[in-house]
Amino acid sequence: MDKSGKLYIVATPIGNLEDITLRALRILKEANLILCEDTRVTKKLLDRYEIQKPLLSYHHHSKLSRVEKIIEHLENGKTLALVSDAGTPGVSDPGNELIASLLDPKIRSSAILRSDLRKEIEIIPIPGASAVMAIASVAGINMSKFSFLGFPPHKKGRETFFRGVAEAKYPVIYFESPYRFLKNLELLEKLKPDAKLIVGRELTKMFEEIKRGNIREILGFYRNNRDKNKGEFVVIVY
């Protein structure tokens, strides 16, 4: 029985390109193919470390035919590395959907058009940078238990999302877009006026900023400093 390939889930920097492990660099150099959300973003990282490898885009809008092509590579014994634009794949990106596809015999059988599904594809995590753990590490509060909720819904389900944040027993971490940051904080203030926040903006980048305070203080700061409503936010509510 031929040996199937390996899929490495590789964490990449969330901003500062130095935040990548030696193991991750080795895997990227050894991979036959690198799967990425945006080839332009990944190429910047690879160029920084003089790595030249073929790239294949895989993102939320990828069709089943792209998944089938990836499975075909793995069934043929190739070594693939999956990266996201930043941080750890499978967290608020389609990486978990790809892994689910590899574990689903129906999808695999449609991809390889044969009944021999005995070959195991190895799925191996390569840990590293994570915005969630970065903000948790500097929180200064008890983070032995917390919830991570990803990005809030844009419209439908938005109030339900923040009602859950307001009622949570433990600290909640979520990601936020600069386009909805203030609007969503205003909603949270109505639901939990006594909320305390730790807000990380542009973590690991040149203009990294971490703000702490109650929700009124945080809202006041960002209302008065609209120029700082840029970049990606990661928020702890407790």
- CATH code for the domain in which residue 70 is found: 3.40.1010.10
Contacts of residue 4, Cβ cutoff 8 Å, sequence gap at least 6 = 74, 75, 77, 119, 120, 121, 122
Question: Number of helices (H) and strands (E), helices first, in the chain?
Answer: 9, 10
Q: Which domain holds residue 32?
A: 6-129
118 pLDDT more than 60: no
pLDDT of residue 2: 57
Q: Strand ranges (DSSP E) for the chain?
A: 6-10, 33-36, 55-57, 79-82, 122-126, 147-148, 172-176, 196-201, 209-214, 233-237
Same domain, 88 and 191: no
Same domain, 141 and 71: no
**Domains in the chain, number:** 2
Same domain, 11 and 121: yes
Q: How many residues does the chain have?
A: 238
- 126 bridge partner residues: 10
Q: Calculate the average pLDDT of the chain.
A: 90
113 pLDDT more than 60: no
Q: How far apart are the C-alpha atoms of 10 and 13, rounded to whole Å?
A: 10
Question: What pairing do the DSSP bridges indicate for beta strands 33-36 and 172-176?
Answer: unpaired
Same domain, 146 and 158: yes
Q: Considering only residues 92 and 29, tell me which one the structure prediction assigns the higher pLDDT.
A: 29
Same domain, 42 and 124: yes
Q: How far is CA 126 from CA 44, 109, 219, in A?
A: 20, 27, 37
What CATH number did the domain enclosing 226 receive? 3.30.950.10
Domain membership flag for residue 1: no
With CA atoms as reference, report the closest residue to 237 among 159, 181, 185: 185
Mean pLDDT to the nearest integer, 61-88? 88
Contacts of residue 134, Cβ cutoff 8 Å, sequence gap at least 6 = 14, 200, 203, 204, 234
Give tens-digit pLDDT for 151-187.
999 989 999 999 999 999 999 999 999 999 999 999 9
Same domain, 116 and 213: no
Same domain, 229 and 201: yes
* Predicted structure pTM score: 0.86
Are 166 and 191 in contact by the 8 Å Cβ rule? The answer is: yes
109 pLDDT more than 60: no
Contacts of residue 96, Cβ cutoff 8 Å, sequence gap at least 6 = 90
